[in-house]
């Protein structure tokens, strides 16, 4: 007994300072206090009560009271603490910990120190190794970073508490919602995941990537530095809205995992993700064998679209999408500018994009509705394909529709591949032949009465003339079957497209190169017009609150929308067409016949001969002057869609053969109110086409009397989306000697132009026009036409996505309009076309056109869209409206993100219409609003320094990131050989495919099978570590770190040195030999420690919660525990390294010289006492207070047992 009591004096002293309260629950605080006093002055006091001459000087083991004496820097954190305050704070914090959790905390500590002792030692060595690398691999960088660390040390806010991504609420929630076994299982699962060879391989790759990006590839490293310098640019130090926007955006990604998908919020994100995986495996993944087949293998639509089209293979699609994203930042090929940067600059000019809200609602509308604006679940007439998917399909269709003809071959209506590098296709440029064919007109026939013959004879006659507004000199106007439709529009409606050029002689196509290579294409033309009217002042509406110093009203781009005196600048309320006339020689007598029915006019007295006056729909000044950019944007957009007059004039000299003396002058004038009017442009055949000639389709009024000569257009329709088709024919009768009159063959012309009035769709190919209802969804979602006057009433239905898309379109258009790019024919709009095509697979295919031809023959091989009536030809002009709709029997990647497959349908590809996919989850967050806000505010001129650096960094990083094919490789090994310093994005794609969409795999159809648990874990991980509402959010920590660094303001040199230090963690001092220390720590050393504490994890939550509550023990330490001012961070790092490598930590002995063994054993004894109370064994113990009737379960009794027996 005497021998066992020699160490009592110091313990008794500690007890006297501690002065136990009464609660047994505070027992654990005494243990922690023992550790505290080991770091306090008590352990070094040689004269006071803390040191008795009791024979302990000869003790050579570890003492709780002085084991940190050799580490004064670490010990200094505790020497300023006052024992009574320390103990009071600790005791108060632990007083509410349930007894069983106090025991559990002790057991966890015991197990960690004893059961996983070797692993804990390995962790210590690994930590010491990392410190050593930081200190010695790059000493210069280390010295430069130390001042930053000193600033962090003295940062006024609590650093540790705010960096650790765990809140007290999270600990309490885990404790209250999970039992002991559940917590233990989650910790054990984490340990197993870290051990998994796949995890180790991933960690190796991460270390390889970081080392390569920070050390090997100088340009990538420079990009990282630019990004970091951009985030800490001077402009962001005071205005942190950009940082806040980024943080909010990341938060929303986590919040998405709290949402439920579907119209009725019926599906969890876990289930949505699992169904997406199954469907991607089925539709977009090549089977790896084993006898299993899927849609991709059995349906050539997915695997073999033909021609040069890419398959729907998931790898291929991801590669193509990566190329599109890269092209937004890295100029290459058709793109010569940083489109993302220019988009941000454009977007910032729209003030309502700087803090947008509810952008997600517009996405949700596009998911809920079909292409015609019908609700996909509630409206029986709706189509199953969403408006979003329809939009991509229409973009892809329009980008490919346009064909070549051989007008010299007048005996048929075939396409021709005689020009355009042997292709039948123009690449999205509608030709006059396409428009005439779409109306079902007689294009070719065995006689000469067909449009090929008439137009070609007219084109080669050199007797058709035009005089433009910009040049009074007349010139021969040559229009043929291959003339691009957009080039014949009048000046004020043609937009950016160059005017008509000669398409060349039959079969030669020699003049085709002179067609506008960009804006003769449908998609660039429409996008440019949208930009013109919404951003550049070509629309009638303007913001009265946006003015320059001269008082002029400005458009968002900065161009003058209207002068201060209300004179117009770019908007023209009334204008005239070009002047057109045709020379005819009936009976060998020359006559000049002008548009409007003028014969041989004297222009001096009839100045309007040959021209039509076009009057835009009248707007009062009060209507035009609006109060915001946003109102002006949407009203101008709707004006373009429904009211802007688009006019085309087509003069044709009607002569059936060179040997025929009969000649007449034909003029076709087509007018559409807005783009929607153009899409519906066709002859009015309500009664008969001849009788209704020149009548507006909707209003029914005649724009003029087609048979009255020398008249201008007179009756205008103000009906939104209305259109009119006017055919005028003038001549001198059959003999050519009669008075000037209406065409002798007027009725015959209509049978030639519209042989089937009951099925006419118009001049725009019906496969486009019948699907173009989705275009209206760009302005306001739903089924109705919204004219500018209705914008305010329909305000909540506006598509909030459109303005940002338009700013991207402007960036693309500005790049296309650079003179050198125009000359070179670069088409940066391919960025959007390629995106749409990638997301439209497998609808596109290259194959035989089944459209009926005259005479019958095999159709041309062209790119087509899989419509419902595709078997009768995509170009068929006589199908039903439904047959032009995309077939529902194919699934795009977009459709799978919208919803899954209807398992109860006999069609294996049928849609559920439940809208329960990932995109619905996205639409229920503010992620899109966050993206728009962040990108927009990046364009703030006051943040030019940050934007320049961020964009430079992104450009450099993406420049160094390629696909295998970009380096002439087809495998990873070839890529590493050809481009050893670059990064292969294919590696990321392959990992995704293997993890997500490998077919077949071991995952069963039962989505609740444990095999799917990794998806459940993924969703939980995203939710727990990213969401704003999560108590484990890493983003909260990131937000604090960014704020702290913005306050600290690291210099460029300090940022560079920090990156050097990070890179030093992955190599030996020779800067070549890789170590993989971090992988070793995480995958080898840490898992056994986690296994050891797993059974007691719930108890650790309880204890941690009580200690970390604001105002409790950790708060006390934050306020009172500091490193002594005479020491620096470098001293702390050096001492920590020495401690971690010290013999008392690393020894394998199991005696009093081993800290982990001794401390673990002692803590185990404490645990025994707290758990079981007084259970004595052995011959010796104290009897000091064991009187009859006196309590025997006191702290004294417990310590008596511990110190006497153990």
pLDDT in tens, 590-613: 999 999 999 998 887 888 899 999
Predicted confidence band at 724 (pLDDT cuts at 50, 70, 90)?
very high
Number of domains in the chain: 2
Ranking 11-25, 512-526, 1059-1073 by mean pLDDT, the lowest is: 11-25
pLDDT in tens, 344-361: 999 999 999 999 999 999
Q: Give the model's pLDDT for residue 675.
A: 97
Q: How crowded is the C-beta side of 199, counted as CA atoms within 13 Å? A: 17
Q: Give the model's pLDDT for residue 1202.
A: 53
Predicted confidence band at 5 (pLDDT cuts at 50, 70, 90)?
very low
The pLDDT of residue 397 is above 90: yes
Q: Which runs of consecutive H residues, i.e. helices, occur in 711-756?
A: 746-753
Nearest alpha-carbon partner for 90 in 108, 78, 74, 73: 78
Q: Give the model's pLDDT for residue 586.
A: 84
**Before 1089, cis peptide (omega within 30)?**
no
Mean pLDDT of 483-496: 93
The pLDDT of residue 38 is above 60: no
Q: Give the model's pLDDT for residue 1073.
A: 86
1188 lies in some domain? no
In this structure, the number of other CB atoms found within 10 A of the CB of residue 238 comes to 7
User: Six-digit token pair at 386?
Assistant: 């969403």
Three-class DSSP category at 484:
strand
Distance CA 814, CA 807 (A): 10
Mean pLDDT of 324-338: 95
User: Six-digit token pair at 237?
Assistant: 């130090």
pLDDT in tens, 627-651: 999 999 999 999 999 999 999 999 9
Q: How crowded is the C-beta side of 787, counted as CA atoms within 13 Å? A: 13
Phi, psi for 542 (deg, rounded to 5) = -150, 155
Q: Give the model's pLDDT for residue 3.
A: 35
Distance CA 816, CA 520 (A): 13
Mean pLDDT of 472-476: 75
Ranking 262-266, 567-571, 622-626 by mean pLDDT, the lowest is: 262-266
Mean pLDDT of 755-773: 92
What average pLDDT does the chain have?
Answer: 88
Distance CA 1135, CA 678 (A): 79
pLDDT in tens, 448-465: 888 999 999 898 888 999
The pLDDT of residue 827 is above 90: yes
789 lies in some domain? no
351 lies in some domain? no
Long-range pairs for 904-912: beta carbons < 8 A, 24 or more residues apart: 908/295, 909/283, 909/295, 910/384, 911/384, 911/385
Contacts of 1095 (CB under 8 A, 6+ apart): 107, 108, 111, 180, 184
Mean pLDDT of 1126-1135: 95
Q: Give the model's pLDDT for residue 1203.
A: 54
Q: Give the model's pLDDT for residue 58.
A: 59
Q: Give the model's pLDDT for residue 30.
A: 40
The pLDDT of residue 17 is above 90: no
Q: Give the model's pLDDT for residue 31.
A: 44
Cβ-count burial of 1022 within 10 angstroms (0-12 exposed, 13-18 middle, 19+ buried)? middle
Q: Which runs of consecutive H residues, i.e. helices, occur in 798-883?
A: 802-816, 819-824, 830-840
Distance CA 708, CA 278 (A): 68
User: Where do we find the tokens 């003809």?
Assistant: 405
In this structure, the number of other CB atoms found within 10 A of the CB of residue 542 comes to 26
With contact defined as beta carbons under 8 Å apart, do 116 and 1071 qualify? no
The pLDDT of residue 707 is above 70: yes
Q: Give the model's pLDDT for residue 41.
A: 39
851 lies in some domain? no
Full domain range(s) for residue 1150 = 8-232+1050-1172
Q: Using the 3D structure, point to which of 730, 745, 764 is the last residue of a domain.
A: 764
Cβ-count burial of 291 within 10 angstroms (0-12 exposed, 13-18 middle, 19+ buried)? exposed
With contact defined as beta carbons under 8 Å apart, do 504 and 512 qualify? yes
Predicted confidence band at 1191 (pLDDT cuts at 50, 70, 90)?
low
Q: Give the model's pLDDT for residue 562.
A: 96
With contact defined as beta carbons under 8 Å apart, do 282 and 1001 qualify? no
Distance CA 417, CA 509 (A): 10
User: Where do we find the tokens 């045709």?
Assistant: 582
Distance CA 60, CA 63 (A): 9
Distance CA 74, CA 617 (A): 81
771 lies in some domain? no
In the chain, % of residues over pLDDT 90? 68
Give the single-character DSSP code of 261.
B
Q: Using the 3D structure, point to which of 738, 764, 790 is the last residue of a domain.
A: 764
Contacts of 633 (CB under 8 A, 6+ apart): 350, 352, 534, 535, 556, 803
991 lies in some domain? no
Predicted confidence band at 1170 (pLDDT cuts at 50, 70, 90)?
confident
Conformational region of residue 951, where left means phi above 0, alpha means psi within -120 to 50, and beta covers everything else: alpha
The pLDDT of residue 34 is above 70: no
The pLDDT of residue 52 is above 70: no
Give the residue with greater pLDDT, 815 vs 47: 815
Dihedral angle of Cα 649, 650, 651, 653, to the nearest 10 degrees: -170
Three-class DSSP category at 713:
coil
Mean pLDDT of 259-283: 92
Distance CA 1115, CA 1092 (A): 28
Largest CA distance in the chain: 145
Mean pLDDT of 69-84: 88
Distance CA 1201, CA 1176 (A): 7
The neighbouring-strand residues paired with 471 are 468
Distance CA 346, CA 338 (A): 12
Distance CA 636, CA 1148 (A): 80
Ranking 316-320, 726-730, 1178-1182 by mean pLDDT, the lowest is: 1178-1182
With contact defined as beta carbons under 8 Å apart, do 995 and 354 qualify? no
Mean pLDDT of 234-250: 89
Q: Give the model's pLDDT for residue 55.
A: 45
Distance CA 33, CA 39 (A): 10
Q: Using the 3D structure, point to which of 709, 731, 764 is the last residue of a domain.
A: 764
Mean pLDDT of 376-402: 95
Q: Give the model's pLDDT for residue 659.
A: 64
The pLDDT of residue 527 is above 80: yes
pLDDT in tens, 1074-1111: 899 999 999 999 999 999 999 999 999 999 999 999 99
Nearest alpha-carbon partner for 129 in 1176, 819, 1075, 965: 1075
CA-based radius of gyration for the chain: 40
Cβ-count burial of 228 within 10 angstroms (0-12 exposed, 13-18 middle, 19+ buried)? buried
Q: Give the model's pLDDT for residue 991.
A: 86
917 lies in some domain? no
Q: Give the model's pLDDT for residue 513.
A: 52
pTM of the model: 0.89
Q: Give the model's pLDDT for residue 997.
A: 77
Q: Which runs of consecutive H residues, i.e. helices, occur in 410-449?
A: 432-438
Distance CA 723, CA 700 (A): 10
983 lies in some domain? no
Q: Give the model's pLDDT for residue 1030.
A: 86
């Amino acid at each position: 007994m005497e021998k066992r009591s020699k160490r009592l004096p110091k313990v008794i002293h500690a007890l006297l300072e501690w002065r136990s309260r009464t609660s047994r629950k505070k027992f654990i605080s005494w243990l922690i206090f023992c550790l505290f006093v080991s770091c306090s002055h008590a352990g070094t006091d040689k004269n006071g009560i803390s040191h008795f001459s009791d024979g302990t000087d000869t003790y050579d083991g570890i003492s709780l009271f002085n084991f940190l004496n050799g580490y004064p820097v670490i010990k200094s954190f505790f020497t300023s603490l006052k024992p009574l305050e320390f103990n009071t704070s600790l005791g108060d914090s632990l007083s509410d910990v349930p007894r069983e959790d106090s025991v559990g905390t002790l057991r966890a500590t015991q197990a960690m120190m004893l059961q996983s002792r070797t692993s804990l030692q390995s962790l210590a060595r690994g930590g010491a190794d990392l410190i050593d690398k930081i200190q010695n691999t790059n000493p210069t960088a280390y010295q430069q970073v130390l001042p930053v660390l000193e600033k962090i040390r003295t940062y006024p806010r609590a650093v540790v508490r705010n960096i650790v991504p765990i809140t007290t609420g999270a600990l309490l929630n885990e404790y209250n919602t999970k039992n002991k076994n559940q917590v233990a299982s989650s910790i054990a699962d984490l340990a197993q995941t870290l051990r998994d060879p796949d995890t180790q391989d991933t960690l190796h790759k991460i270390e390889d990537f970081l080392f390569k990006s920070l050390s090997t590839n100088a340009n990538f490293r420079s990009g990282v530095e630019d990004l970091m310098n951009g985030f800490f640019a001077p402009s962001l130090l005071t205005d942190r809205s950009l940082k806040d926007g980024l943080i909010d955006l990341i938060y929303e990604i986590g919040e998405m995992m709290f949402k439920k998908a579907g119209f009725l919020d019926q599906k969890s994100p876990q289930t949505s993700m699992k169904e997406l995986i199954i469907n991607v495996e089925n539709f977009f993944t090549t089977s790896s064998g084993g006898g299993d087949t899927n849609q991709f293998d059995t349906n050539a639509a997915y695997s073999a679209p033909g021609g040069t089209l890419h398959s729907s293979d998931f790898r291929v699609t991801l590669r193509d999408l990566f190329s599109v994203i890269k092209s937004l930042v890295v100029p290459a090929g058709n793109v010569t500018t940083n489109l993302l940067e220019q988009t941000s600059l454009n977007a910032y000019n729209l003030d309502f994009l700087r803090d947008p809200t509810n952008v997600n609602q517009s996405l949700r509308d596009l998911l809920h509705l079909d292409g015609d604006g019908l609700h996909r679940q509630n409206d029986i007439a709706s189509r199953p394909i969403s408006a979003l998917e329809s939009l991509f399909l229409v973009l892809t269709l329009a980008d490919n529709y346009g064909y070549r003809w051989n007008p010299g071959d007048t005996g048929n209506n075939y396409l021709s591949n005689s020009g355009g590098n042997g292709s039948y296709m123009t690449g999205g440029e509608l030709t006059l032949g396409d428009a005439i064919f779409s109306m079902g007109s007689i294009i070719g026939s065995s006689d000469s009465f067909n449009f090929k013959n008439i137009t070609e004879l007219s084109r080669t006659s050199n007797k058709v003339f035009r005089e433009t507004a910009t040049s009074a000199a007349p010139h021969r106007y040559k229009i043929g079957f291959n003339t691009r439709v957009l080039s014949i529009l009048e000046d004020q409606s043609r937009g950016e497209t160059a005017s008509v050029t000669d398409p060349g002689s039959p079969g030669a196509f020699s003049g085709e190169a002179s067609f506008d290579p960009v804006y003769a294409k449908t998609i660039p033309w429409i996008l440019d017009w949208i930009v013109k009217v919404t951003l550049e002042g070509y629309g009638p509406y303007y913001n009265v609150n946006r003015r320059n110093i001269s008082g002029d009203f400005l458009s968002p781009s900065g161009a003058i929308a209207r002068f201060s005196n209300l004179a117009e600048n770019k908007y023209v309320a009334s204008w005239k067409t070009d002047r057109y006339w045709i020379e005819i020689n009936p009976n060998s007598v020359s006559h000049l016949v002008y548009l409007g029915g003028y014969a041989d006019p004297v222009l001096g007295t009839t100045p309007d001969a040959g021209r039509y006056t076009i009057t835009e729909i009248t707007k009062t000044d009060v209507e035009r002057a609006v109060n915001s950019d946003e109102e002006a944007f949407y009203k101008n957009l709707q004006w373009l869609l429904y009211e802007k007059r688009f006019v085309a004039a087509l003069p044709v000299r009607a002569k059936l053969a060179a040997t025929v003396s009969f000649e007449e002058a034909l003029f076709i004038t087509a007018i559409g109110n807005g783009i929607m009017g153009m899409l519906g442009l066709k002859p009015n055949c309500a009664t008969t086409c001849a009788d209704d000639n020149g009548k507006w389709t909707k209003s029914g009024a005649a724009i003029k009397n087609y048979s009255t000569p020398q008249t201008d257009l007179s009756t205008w329709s103000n009906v939104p989306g209305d259109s009119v088709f006017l055919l005028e024919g003038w001549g001198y009768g059959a003999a050519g000697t009669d008075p000037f009159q209406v065409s002798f063959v007027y009725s015959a012309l209509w049978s030639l132009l519209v042989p089937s009035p009951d099925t006419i769709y118009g001049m725009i190919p019906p496969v486009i026009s019948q699907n173009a209802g989705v275009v209206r969804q760009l302005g306001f979602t739903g089924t109705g036409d919204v004219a500018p006057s209705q914008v305010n009433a329909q305000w909540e239905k506006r598509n909030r996505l459109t303005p940002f898309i338009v700013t991207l379109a402007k960036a693309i258009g500005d790049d296309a309009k650079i003179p050198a790019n125009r000359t070179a024919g670069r088409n940066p709009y391919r960025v959007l076309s390629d995106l749409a095509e990638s997301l439209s697979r497998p609808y596109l295919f290259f194959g035989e056109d089944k459209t009926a031809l005259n005479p019958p023959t095999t159709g041309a091989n062209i790119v087509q869209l899989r419509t419902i009536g595709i078997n009768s030809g995509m170009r068929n002009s006589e199908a039903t409206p439904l047959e032009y709709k995309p077939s529902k029997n194919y699934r795009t990647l977009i459709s799978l993100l919208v919803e899954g497959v209807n398992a109860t349908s006999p069609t294996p590809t049928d849609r559920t219409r439940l809208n329960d996919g990932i995109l619905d989850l996205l639409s229920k967050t503010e992620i899109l609003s966050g993206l728009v806000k962040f990108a927009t505010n990046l364009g703030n001129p006051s943040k030019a320094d940050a934007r320049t650096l961020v964009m430079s960094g992104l450009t450099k990083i993406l420049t160094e990131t390629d696909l295998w094919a970009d380096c002439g490789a087809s495998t990873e090994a070839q890529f590493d050989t050809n481009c050893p310093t670059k990064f292969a994005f294919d590696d990321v794609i392959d990992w995704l495919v293997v993890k997500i969409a490998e077919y077949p795999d071991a995952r069963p159809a039962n989505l609740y099978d444990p095999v799917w648990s990794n998806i459940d874990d993924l969703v939980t991980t995203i939710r727990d570590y990213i969401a704003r509402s999560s108590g484990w959010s890493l983003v909260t920590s990131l937000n604090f770190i960014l704020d702290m660094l913005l306050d600290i303001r690291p210099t460029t040199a300090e940022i560079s040195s920090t990156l050097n230090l990070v890179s030093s963690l992955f190599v030996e001092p020779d800067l070549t030999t890789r170590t993989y220390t971090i992988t070793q720590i995480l995958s080898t050393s840490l898992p056994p420690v986690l296994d050891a504490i797993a059974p007691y994890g719930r108890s650790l939550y309880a204890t941690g919660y009580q200690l970390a509550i604001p105002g409790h023990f950790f708060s006390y330490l934050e306020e009172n525990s500091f490193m002594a001012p005479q020491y620096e961070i470098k001293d702390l790092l050096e001492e920590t390294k020495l401690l971690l490598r010290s013999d008392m930590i690393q020894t394998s002995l199991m005696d009093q010289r081993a800290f982990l063994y001794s401390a673990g054993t002692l803590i185990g004894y404490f645990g025994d006492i707290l758990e079981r109370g007084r259970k004595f064994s052995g011959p010796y113990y104290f009897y000091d207070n064991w009187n009859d009737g006196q309590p025997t379960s006191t702290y004294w009794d417990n310590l008596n047992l511990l110190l006497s027996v153990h």
